[in-house]
Structure 1
């Protein structure tokens, strides 16, 4: 069972601070799976054996060869929304750097086996950060959307957390600078259901093409998304197909080096 460490909170030693309703905790990803401290967080399993004949055999063979994957479902809706905002229109490695730099500077610290990890700053902390600090931390471009989301979350976060996934995706798009891509990425991270993920995304297209070049997949996001939906008969299949394909990008936990 291989953990998928796509969330930018995962650090170089495959550890991550996680905010849950009960408080802050930590997670560790190793080749055998994800280990959590005391928490209410869930770990979802995505198994290529659940993919049916609708998924082309060439792609299914590659995904089956990598085996099932585990992914930590983000228990913090605020973090999921903020993470999706940070990921807007930049590469995954840039988003990881920005998230970790911002979190280390102003997030709440947690000690874990000799490491000092940090939770992503709360909405109130984000609203207290001045323009100069955003700029110093390389987050000037993200300042307005993060502030808008923090203000909205302060008013509506409790309501949002109670909504079914489809309603949640619609509701958070009322926030300025949150569109379908950001909403879908946030909901997928928070619920573990990647049928909501923007699966026409460049990363899915890239790894699908690398895995099965014989499929001649469409180039445009919209056409690819339509084809991709046809590769799954149910939302569960679509979710598994998307996560397992994203995992081909190397975001799988490895053996944890000594601290």
Structure 2
């Protein structure tokens, strides 16, 4: 199957922090759309803030701009306790950028340095530690250890403010080597002791039944109905479920299994959020779990920029108006996504869901304390490589493709993680027997959150194009798609939705 795919490495808003006059105008306007894109630091107070901080805008000569909170901390600034600049949607830049810095930031957010150190980060990126440190310091104003330190500080603050855990438990759960290091970092970053942070949090959400409650901010608008619909139609029994007010699923995390329950808050005045309730085996996994939920729901997207570009195309204008803030759902596990893609490339969504349910029921690990119907983890690559052929039904070649891909994941010959270069990952996938351009493109689209992947060979996507009056041939659609860059992935979601609406009374078209 032919696939059209383009991955960009830059965006129109990349590097706002390096454009001080523009950054200052954004800070003056207190434009929340740019929260997470850059940091505003005030020399006279030693505080750094988000661009929309409600405090009085400092004079231009007293401001300094940084790409990350870690860079501001390295320069001696402390986080504003009023606007909480670390409690932000992540920068869309890390999805737009396929370069070393962007890939490193995705891995650091997933907790790789806490688990594997800088050596592990560098190994995943395919460079020496020295080179990775040099590039991150030059481009982001902070090396990998400083970036990880900022990540740990944010994880610690979440636990301080949302749990009743002791500070010593929080220190080690957040990845600090000692309580002293924890206290020193909290003091340096927030200019407060852990006790003061906890007492200042007047509306702390109490834990219930061992769960941790976290509110994740979202850039509005957010097409929550579209995300829920996408996840619900693909939900694997025992692993995922659609709830009365949201979505829930099991997670396989570094230190043990977990269950997350999600509820969307549309909010008022553009203050959308997702409320998460985590049941964790080990509280050290909280920050990683949060990062994976953010990627699953594509919460760090820039919906205003996406809608402006796609809405300018008359063919997509009505769809953008009907579904503002469309998202591209991501993935929480590489093995799960690859199996979904391979099984879904030749059958309907419903048939793929049935096959995946049987696979998980027979090979998935059972969690010790089931949460309602959620009692199963998606099988590991190792288990699928060994026993997948015994359980999977259907054409022999398709079964062999799944088993072969899982074997490559299990033995390390296929690296499928957030630090991969999109083009290199695509090439590695296509080198595996039975995996073609469509499957490889779909994995890159959802695993890496690549913003400009258009699966022009997808039958449902081309039916959507036809329904919207767009060219429905591969070459014709590719030519038209030039006007959608760098948001081809989001345009694809609109085309899939158009196909679904056009065939609502018929059998659903194939799409994984």
Same fold (TM over 0.5): yes
Is 1:19 the counterpart of 2:252? The answer is yes
Residue equivalent to 1:118: 376
For residue 183 of structure 1, report the CA deviation from its aligned partner. 0.6
Residue equivalent to 1:76: 333
CA deviation digits over 1:51-77, x for unaligned, max 9? 345652242222222222345521322
Distance 1:26 1:240 in 2: 28
Question: Contact between 1:207 and 1:246, CA under 8 Å: does it hold in 2?
Answer: yes
For residue 222 of structure 1, report the CA deviation from its aligned partner. 4.0
Q: TM-score, normalised by structure 2?
A: 0.42
Residue equivalent to 2:434: 177
SS at match of 1:143: helix
Distance 1:20 1:226 in 2: 42
Larger Rg: 2
Q: How does 1:80-159 map to 2 (within 5 A)?
A: 80-110=337-367, 113-129=371-387, 131-135=389-393, 142-156=398-412, 159=415
Q: Which has the higher contact order (CA 8 A, sep 6+)?
A: 1
CA deviation digits over 1:51-109, x for unaligned, max 9? 34565224222222222234552132222222211112212221122112211221123
For residue 176 of structure 1, report the CA deviation from its aligned partner. 0.7
Question: Contact between 1:104 and 1:117, CA under 8 Å: does it hold in 2?
Answer: no
2:482 corresponds, among 230, 255, 258, to 230
Question: Contact between 2:462 and 2:495, CA under 8 Å: does it hold in 1?
Answer: no
Residue equivalent to 1:256: none
For residue 140 of structure 1, report the CA deviation from its aligned partner. 5.3
Aligned residues: 241
Distance 1:93 1:104 in 2: 16
- Point out where structure 1 has 5 or more consecutive residues left out of the alignment: 251-259
CA deviation digits over 1:171-195, x for unaligned, max 9? 1212111111111111111112252
Range moving further from structure 2, 169-178 or 12-21: 12-21
1:241 corresponds, among 491, 495, 506, to 491
SS at match of 1:231: helix
Q: TM-score, normalised by structure 1?
A: 0.77
Give the direction of change, closer, same or farther, for the CA distance of 1:226–1:118 in structure 2 (3 Å limit). Answer: farther
CA deviation digits over 1:130-189, x for unaligned, max 9? 755334xx6856320111101111222674423212211111212111111111111111
Residue equivalent to 1:221: 474
Give the direction of change, closer, same or farther, for the CA distance of 1:154–1:132 in structure 2 (3 Å limit). Answer: closer
**C-alpha RMSD over aligned residues:** 3.1
Range moving further from structure 2, 27-36 or 166-175: 27-36
Q: How does 1:200-211 map to 2 (within 5 A)?
A: 200-210=457-467
Give the direction of change, closer, same or farther, for the CA distance of 1:179–1:105 in structure 2 (3 Å limit). Answer: same
Q: How does 1:157-196 map to 2 (within 5 A)?
A: 159-161=415-417, 162-196=419-453
Distance 1:241 1:48 in 2: 14
- Point out where structure 2 has 5 or more consecutive residues left out of the alignment: 1-221, 266-273, 279-285, 502-512
Question: Contact between 1:127 and 1:147, CA under 8 Å: does it hold in 2?
Answer: yes
Distance 1:34 1:182 in 2: 32
